[in-house]
Amino acid sequence: MKFVDKKSTNAGYGVAPVFLTAISTILGVVLFLRFGFAIGTLGFWGVVLVVLLGHLITIPTALAISEIATNTRVEGGGEYFIISRSFGLKIGSTIGITLYFSQVISLAFYIIGFTEAFTPLFNWWITSFGFELPRQAISIPALLLLAILILRKGSSIGMQMLYIVNFILFASLLLFFLGKPIEPEEAEFITATPAPSNFTFINKESFFIIFAICFPAFTGMTAGVGMSGDLKNPSKSIPIGTITGTLTGLIVYLFVVWKLAISAPQADLVADQLIMSRITVFGNFVIPIGLAACTFSSAVGSIMVAPRILQAIASDKNIPYPRLNKFLSKGKGPLNEPFNATLVSVIIALVFVIMGNINAVASVITMFFLITYGTLCLISFLNHFGSSPSYRPRFRSKWFFSLGGFLLSVWVMFMIDSLYTVLAYLTIIIIYLLIEHYNKSEKGMVSIFRGTLFQLNRLLRVYLQKKQYNVDVEEWRPSAICISPHSFERNKVLVLMKWISHQHGFGTYFHFIEGYYSKQTHAESQEILKELISIQHESGSALYIDTMISPSYTSAIAQVIQTPSISGMENNMVLFEYDKTQPEELNRILDNINMARAGDFDVCIFAQSTYPIRNINDIHVWIRSTDEKNTNLMILLGYIIIAHPDWKHSHIKLFITSVKGESEVVKEEVTKRIAEGRLPITLTNIEIVSLQEGQTMNEMIGQKSRLAGLTIMGFREEIIKHDPIEFFSEFDEIGDILFVNAAHSKVII
pLDDT tens figures, 542-562: 889 999 999 999 999 999 998
Note the pLDDT of residue 547. 93
Q: What is the Rg, in whole angstroms, of the alpha carbon atoms belonging to the chain? A: 36
- State mean pLDDT over 383-406: 78
Of 193-197, 406-410, 652-656, the poorest mean pLDDT is in 193-197
Contact 62, 222 (CB under 8 A): yes
Note the pLDDT of residue 423. 82
Residue 712 CA to residue 81 CA, distance in Å, equals: 60
Bridge partner residues of 579 (DSSP) = 608
Average pLDDT over the chain reads 81
Contacts of 78 (CB under 8 A, 6+ apart): 222, 225, 226, 227, 228, 305, 308, 309
Q: Is the pLDDT of residue 194 over 60?
A: no
Backbone angles phi, psi at 392, to 5 degrees: -130, 65
Higher pLDDT: 530 or 158? It is 530
Q: Is the pLDDT of residue 282 over 50?
A: yes
Longest dimension (CA), the chain: 119
Higher pLDDT: 672 or 387? It is 672
| Pure H helices in 117-233 | 119-129, 136-153, 156-178, 187-192, 204-214
Q: What is the pTM of this model?
A: 0.63
Q: For 112-142, give one letter per residue: b (16+ CB within 10 A) or e.
A: bbbbbbbbeebeeeeeeeeeeeebbebbbeb
User: What Å distances lie between residue 327 and 347, 391, 491, 653, CA to CA?
Assistant: 15, 35, 51, 67
Note the pLDDT of residue 181. 84
With both helix axes pointing from N to C terminus, report the angle between 78-87 and 89-116 in degrees, rounded to the nearest 10: 170
Pairing mode, strands 737-741 and 602-608? antiparallel
Of 84-88, 361-365, 479-483, 615-619, the poorest mean pLDDT is in 84-88
Residue 502 CA to residue 542 CA, distance in Å, equals: 6
Q: Is the pLDDT of residue 374 over 90?
A: no
Q: For 21-38, give one letter per residue: b (16+ CB within 10 A) or e.
A: bbbbbbbbbbbbbbbbbb
| 32-36, 316-320, 384-388, 548-552: which is most confident | 548-552
- Minimal CA–CA distance to 405: which of 60, 50, 53, 54? 60
**What SS3 state is found at 621?**
strand
Side by side, the strands of the sheet bearing 573-579 are 544-550, 506-514, 479-484, 573-579, 602-608, 737-741, 710-714, 619-623, 652-657, 686-689
CB atoms within 10 A of CB 111: 29
Contact 736, 611 (CB under 8 A): yes
- Minimal CA–CA distance to 179: which of 252, 286, 271? 286
- The one-letter code for the residue type at 594 is N
**What SS3 state is found at 603?**
strand
Higher pLDDT: 180 or 190? It is 180
Q: Is the pLDDT of residue 270 over 50?
A: yes
Q: Is the pLDDT of residue 683 over 80?
A: no
- State mean pLDDT over 102-115: 84
**What SS3 state is found at 511?**
strand
Q: Is the pLDDT of residue 87 over 80?
A: no
Residue 201 CA to residue 47 CA, distance in Å, equals: 12
User: What Å distances lie between residue 545 and 55, 453, 456, 577, CA to CA?
Assistant: 47, 18, 20, 16
- State mean pLDDT over 405-425: 87
- Minimal CA–CA distance to 397: which of 372, 370, 378? 378
Contact 377, 406 (CB under 8 A): yes
End-to-end CA distance of the chain: 55
Of 68-72, 125-129, 365-369, 681-685, the poorest mean pLDDT is in 68-72
Note the pLDDT of residue 335. 67
User: What Å distances lie between residue 428 and 94, 128, 215, 362, 368, CA to CA?
Assistant: 7, 49, 21, 20, 10
- Minimal CA–CA distance to 705: which of 735, 740, 682, 729? 735
Q: Is the pLDDT of residue 565 over 60?
A: yes
Higher pLDDT: 174 or 158? It is 174
- State mean pLDDT over 411-438: 83
- Assign 390 a pLDDT band (cuts: 50, 70, 90): low
For a pLDDT cut of 90, what percent of the chain falls above it? 18
Of 141-145, 620-624, 672-676, the poorest mean pLDDT is in 672-676
Contact 654, 621 (CB under 8 A): yes
Note the pLDDT of residue 145. 85
- State mean pLDDT over 384-398: 72
Q: What angle do CA 449, 455, 457 make, to 5 degrees?
A: 95
Q: Is the pLDDT of residue 506 over 80?
A: yes
Note the pLDDT of residue 200. 43
Contact 69, 225 (CB under 8 A): yes
Note the pLDDT of residue 378. 84
How many CA atoms, within 13 angstroms, populate the side-chain half-sphere of residue 596?
Answer: 30
- State mean pLDDT over 181-190: 54
Contact 84, 316 (CB under 8 A): yes
- Assign 470 a pLDDT band (cuts: 50, 70, 90): low
For a pLDDT cut of 70, what percent of the chain falls above it? 83
Backbone angles phi, psi at 711, to 5 degrees: -110, 130
pLDDT digits (tens, 9 = 90+) for 618-655: 999 998 878 888 988 998 899 899 988 898 888 999 88
- Minimal CA–CA distance to 416: which of 617, 210, 243? 210
- Assign 741 a pLDDT band (cuts: 50, 70, 90): very high
- The one-letter code for the residue type at 617 is N
Note the pLDDT of residue 484. 93
* DSSP annotation of 643: T
Residue 624 CA to residue 657 CA, distance in Å, equals: 5
Note the pLDDT of residue 30. 81
- State mean pLDDT over 131-151: 85
* DSSP annotation of 648: T
Q: For 533-583, what is the HEC assignment? A: HHHHHHCCCCCEEEEEEECCHHHHHHHHCCCCCCCCCCCCEEEEEEECCCH
Note the pLDDT of residue 664. 67
Note the pLDDT of residue 143. 87
Contacts of 136 (CB under 8 A, 6+ apart): 353, 354, 356
With 0-12 / 13-18 / 19 or more C-beta atoms within 10 angstroms meaning exposed / middle / buried, residue 616 is: exposed
DSSP string, 453-487: HHHHHHHHHHHHHHHGGG-SSPPP--EEEEEES-T
Q: Is the pLDDT of residue 228 over 70?
A: no
